[in-house]
Structure 1
Amino acid sequence: METRTISKEALHRTRRRHNWALQWCMNYEKMQGSGFAFGMVPVIKELYETEEEQCQHLLRHAQFYNCHPAGSAAICGIACALEENGQSDTADSIKVALMGPMASVGDTIQGVLVKPLVSLIGAGMAAEGNWLSILMVTLPMVACFLARWPAFNIGYKQSLNLLNNMKSAFSFDKLQELASVLGLTVIGGFIPSILGSRLQLGFEMTKAITDPNTGKVVEQAFKLQESLDSLLPYILPILFVGLCFYLLKKKKMTPVKVILIIAVITFILGATGIMV
């Protein structure tokens, strides 16, 4: 196998192209294949002399490919290292083997753990009129984007050693499961605190009682919400979440239908004054 050297400038351009343009040409036939090949252009042009060779190897990288962008950055780094060592076939195999596991890990961390969490915190801050909610939502997502640069560098420097270390340290399935459990647990903890102050029953009754101090007959208000809170705080948010789970899991309804049902229920309860 022929070993060649990639210049720092070519690596920098490939890293920049991949991290910015991976999904620019996304399509249903090749998904991110065109974007991956576009990112590899500087490396391929430096490693192969003739135009025919360059086109041949770019066609390899333009095949079907789909992965989470941050995970794909590490795969791109590994592919560059393997191309540099003349292991083109291994680079193709690594792309196919890793794009699924890396996509599941990236989607779980960003889509289940980070994004819903910061969105919930940001929504709570926005409801209180705190302008920092904008930063709470945007900065973590910017950090997820910037993580692509060190991911590429680690993939390139470690190459196949990275795979061996990852396999010995954890399994992709276990990491995905742990991230999902953690994300859903945190999100579940925010539901009562956010909805509890907004889902309140307005049902109220009055009854006449005699004041023992003055002997006068006065009216005392009886609020159903206070009685429910004494039994189980945040019972209404819990019931609403349970209803959503029942409709989604047991009745196999689509999320859109469940949202419409909840909207109709809350509109009727609000219009009749039962819920405030």
Structure 2
Amino acid sequence: MEAKKISKKTLMKSFHHWFYGNLTCFSQEHMQTFGYLTSMLPIVEELYDKKEDQEKAMHTYTAFFNTEPQLGSLIVGITAGLEEARANDKEGVDEETINGLRAGLMGPIAGIGDSLVVGTLIPVILGIALGLSNGGSPLGAIFYIVVWNLLAYFGMRFAYFKGYELGDKAVEFLVGAQGQAIRKAIAIIGGMVIGAVAATWVSISTAFKLRNASGKVYLNLQNQLDNVYPGLLTVLFIVLCWWLMAKKNMSPIKVMLLLVVIALIGVIAGFFNPGLSY
């Protein structure tokens, strides 16, 4: 009996389903489960002729799934390869094996992906885009839209097909000691990038001054802060934003509104200079 093989056309269709629909019917209960289902549907339809076999295979992918979507395409590619092996009755590849692999890779891939994509790549691209947007130029926005979409598409495509080629061989690498070292290194790099972007594009200073009876300034708070810790207010505001979002689960929109309120009160009270941009 000839071994079943997934065609390149079907693999591309599966990848595009994940690329465009990884957050399909997203909810707190299912997260990316339905996006995963849509990406595996072309694979299952090609590998199995009988409806009952297709239903049984698709049931494997109804389990909860959530990871970083860009790098997460690697997991979809790996399970496509495993599904192909299951369709060919390879020993040791069954529903439990596939779901165990998916569950085992969700966390490591999320950790690497969040640090690499969200914590490093996106801030770098945004930093360049902000530089190109000086003076209200639309080049920054155009640059970000084009570059991000190209990197996301071809990066996800590469990860998907690399996962398909590797199959279960990727598990040991991603979950083992090497994978932990990679996650730690990327997390450190991501932290450095975030710090550099914040230091470059966020600048907060105070206009608070104390004057004597003759009107002469005898205390310039910003100068005093610069002598002790240059950029202290900037650091405090960044830490505040991180604390509100990471520890208090406040949404970014609420944090931005809070910053607007703080800035407004600060300008009225004379703590901030209305002529500065924060």
TM-score range, shorter chain: 0.7 to 0.9
CA–CA separation in structure 1 for the residues paired with 2:152 and 2:141: 16
Equivalent position amino acid for 1:233 in 2: P
Task: State how 1:85-234 maps to structure 2 within 5 Å.
Answer: 85-86=85-86, 87-89=93-95, 90-120=97-127, 122-123=129-130, 126=133, 128-142=135-149, 143-166=151-174, 170-172=178-180, 174-196=181-203, 198-201=204-207, 203=209, 205=211, 224=220, 225-226=222-223, 228-230=225-227, 232-234=229-231
Does residue 9 (structure 1) correspond to residue 9 (structure 2)? The answer is yes
In terms of mean alpha carbon deviation, does 84-93 or 73-82 score higher?
84-93
Equivalent position amino acid for 2:42 in 1: P
Quote the residue 2:89 is aligned against. none
Equivalent position amino acid for 1:104 in 2: G
CA–CA separation in structure 2 for the residues paired with 1:10 and 1:54: 15
Aligned in 2, Cα 1:227/1:136: closer, same or farther, shift over 3 Å? Answer: farther
CA–CA separation in structure 1 for the residues paired with 2:137 and 2:70: 31
Quote the residue 1:266 is aligned against. 263
Structure 1: give runs of 5+ residues left out of the alignment: 209-218
Q: CA deviation at 1:255?
A: 4.2
The answer on whether the counterparts of 2:101 and 2:171 sit within 8 Å (CA) in structure 1 is no
In terms of mean alpha carbon deviation, does 89-98 or 158-167 score higher?
158-167
CA–CA separation in structure 1 for the residues paired with 2:270 and 2:31: 51
TM-score, scaled relative to structure 2? 0.75
Q: CA deviation at 1:23?
A: 1.6
Q: Deviations over 1:129-186 (max 9, x none)?
A: 34332145434532134311111110111212233444567124x4333323322222
Q: Deviations over 1:6-45 (max 9, x none)?
A: 2222222222222222222223443322222222222212
Quote the residue 2:32 is aligned against. 32
CA–CA separation in structure 1 for the residues paired with 2:19 and 2:104: 20
Q: CA deviation at 1:47?
A: 1.4
CA–CA separation in structure 2 for the residues paired with 1:238 and 1:75: 38
Task: State how 1:49-64 maps to structure 2 within 5 Å.
Answer: 49-64=49-64
Aligned in 2, Cα 1:167/1:35: closer, same or farther, shift over 3 Å? Answer: closer
Q: Deviations over 1:54-96 (max 9, x none)?
A: 1221122223222222233111211121222223333232222
CA–CA separation in structure 2 for the residues paired with 1:148 and 1:170: 21
| Structure with greater Cα Rg | 1
CA–CA separation in structure 1 for the residues paired with 2:79 and 2:244: 45
Q: Secondary structure at the match of 2:4?
A: coil
The answer on whether the counterparts of 1:43 and 1:80 sit within 8 Å (CA) in structure 2 is yes
The answer on whether the counterparts of 1:203 and 1:275 sit within 8 Å (CA) in structure 2 is no
Q: CA deviation at 1:241?
A: 4.2
Equivalent position amino acid for 1:26 in 2: F
CA–CA separation in structure 2 for the residues paired with 1:169 and 1:245: 30
Aligned in 2, Cα 1:119/1:8: closer, same or farther, shift over 3 Å? Answer: closer
Number of aligned positions between the proteins: 262
Aligned in 2, Cα 1:206/1:135: closer, same or farther, shift over 3 Å? Answer: farther
Quote the residue 1:212 is aligned against. none
The answer on whether the counterparts of 2:209 and 2:217 sit within 8 Å (CA) in structure 1 is no
Aligned in 2, Cα 1:77/1:190: closer, same or farther, shift over 3 Å? Answer: closer
Task: State how 1:248-259 maps to structure 2 within 5 Å.
Answer: 255=250
TM-score, scaled relative to structure 1? 0.75
The answer on whether the counterparts of 1:120 and 1:187 sit within 8 Å (CA) in structure 2 is no
CA–CA separation in structure 2 for the residues paired with 1:227 and 1:65: 52
% same residue: 25
CA–CA separation in structure 1 for the residues paired with 2:258 and 2:235: 16
Aligned in 2, Cα 1:71/1:3: closer, same or farther, shift over 3 Å? Answer: farther
Equivalent position amino acid for 1:194 in 2: W
The answer on whether the counterparts of 2:40 and 2:58 sit within 8 Å (CA) in structure 1 is yes
